Amino acid sequence: MSTTWHVLGAGSLGTLWATRLARAGLPVQLILRDAARLQAYQAAGGLTLVEQGEAQHYAIPATTLERVGPVDRLLVACKAYDAEGAVAQLANRLTPDAELILLQNGLGSQDAVAARVPHARCIFASSTEGAFRDGDWRVVFAGHGYTWLGDARQPVAPVWLEDLSAAGIPHEWSTDILTRLWRKLALNCAINPLTVLHDCRNGGLQQHPCEVATLCTELSELLEHCGQPAAAHDLQQEVERVILATAANYSSMYQDVANQRRTEISYLLGYACVVASRHQLVLPHLNQLQQRLIAHLRTRGLPSD
């Protein structure tokens, strides 16, 4: 009998993973916040995944944080700011050999979760897949991509990667997952806040080449100081390439702000600034960007953390 995939956070990525695992015949159970969410889920009768305009319904079993039984394998698909609190609520249900897969973008939340569950194996993930919710319990698979998974403390790949292959989830085991996460964080820091402040699509940043270049210089300096020179390599060229390749898109942070949702600023730009100050690095443009973004979020009535 395969180990059950417990999915904590039935939002965009959680649904994208849960539905593909379930349709491959693998055991999946959703863990919902409380009885009210469970009741709403049961009324909907399951999750819906929309792929290329076609909606498929999956009646995946669900339970609540309070009622979940022993958990061997946990996919944590909450936002970065919710991950630690959500995991803490079920820490006493984790078995001695439990493994957690952390899908959060940015950095900081993974260490916070790992500190809450010191006996569990925490696998970090970085994904370029794209999904969004277009209704309660309904998710649109918007962009095909790849997910890198890795464990900086234990380089041996887990056997359950074969479940991901069976489910058609494109993935690769990475022995340098921290470098991947830092690189993605740097890309997000160079692009996302500027799209919010200039109120533009990613392509609009082609009108601000000096601002982008200055941020890339400071971010590269930070990466070098953090022992991540590979993540700094040709950063500016990659940022420019991503701006061009995604010119018509709105960044994830832009979309969060436009939809009055809390951003993950503390795990992206905020994390970069905290680490810079820990290294006593003076990065004036990065700090100024953070202050401008915080002020912008406050004027929109959004949390600035």
What secondary structure, in 3-state letters, does 59-97 show? CCCEEECCCCCCEEEEEECCCHHHHHHHHHHHHHHEEEE
Annotated catalytic residue 79 = no
The residue (of 189 and 283) whose beta carbon lies closer to ligand NAD is 189
Write the interaction track for ligand NAD spanning residues 208-237; mark x where CB under 6 A is met and - where it is not. Answer: ------------------------------
Q: Report the nearest approach of ligand NAD to the CB of residue 284 (Å).
A: 27
- The active-site residue out of 183, 184, 193, 268 is 184
Binding residue count for ligand NAD, defined by CB under 6 A:
26
For ligand NAD, which residue of 80, 94, 239, 293 counts as binding (CB under 6 A)?
80
How far apart CA 305 and CA 143 sit, in angstroms, is 28
Q: Which residue has the tokens 């194996």?
A: 121
232, 224 contact by CB (below 8 A): yes
* Tokens encoding 143: 């962009």
The residue (of 192 and 228) whose beta carbon lies closer to ligand KPL is 192
Q: Report the nearest approach of ligand KPL to the CB of residue 286 (Å).
A: 15
Contact positions toward ligand KPL, by CB under 6 A? 187-188, 191-192, 202, 242, 246, 251-252
Our finding on whether 33 is near ligand NAD (CB under 6 A) is: yes
The one of ligand KPL, ligand NAD, none whose footprint includes residue 219, by CB under 5 to 8 A per kind, is none
For ligand NAD, which residue of 8, 47, 231, 243 counts as binding (CB under 6 A)?
8
For ligand NAD, which residue of 6, 7, 9, 182 counts as binding (CB under 6 A)?
9
Buried-exposed string 237-274: b where 16+ CB fall within 10 A, e elsewhere = eebbebbeeeeebbbbbbbbbeeeebbbbbbbbbbbbe
Our finding on whether 65 is near ligand NAD (CB under 6 A) is: yes
How far apart CA 45 and CA 303 sit, in angstroms, is 33
Q: Report the nearest approach of ligand NAD to the CB of residue 133 (Å).
A: 6
The residue (of 218 and 267) whose beta carbon lies closer to ligand NAD is 267
124, 176 contact by CB (below 8 A): no
| Distances in whole angstroms, Cα of residue 131 to Cα of each of 15, 52, 139, 196 | 9, 12, 7, 20
CA geometry: angle 268, 274, 276, nearest 5 deg: 100
Of 150, 142, 49, 143, nearest in space to 99 by CA:
150
Write the interaction track for ligand NAD spanning residues 134-153; mark x where CB under 6 A is met and - where it is not. Answer: --------------------
Of 9, 24, 106, 29, nearest in space to 73 by CA:
29
CA diameter of the chain: 57
Q: Report the nearest approach of ligand KPL to the CB of residue 191 (Å).
A: 4
- The burial of 5, by beta-carbon neighbours within 10 Å (0-12 exposed, 13-18 middle, 19 or more buried), is given as buried
The residue (of 217 and 246) whose beta carbon lies closer to ligand NAD is 246
The residue (of 48 and 195) whose beta carbon lies closer to ligand KPL is 195
The one of ligand NAD, ligand KPL, none whose footprint includes residue 251, by CB under 5 to 8 A per kind, is ligand KPL
Rg of the chain in Å (alpha carbons): 19
Q: Where do contacts with ligand NAD occur on this chain (CB under 6 A)?
A: 8-14, 32-33, 65, 77-80, 82, 85-86, 103-105, 127, 129-131, 133, 264
Residues with a catalytic annotation lie at: 184
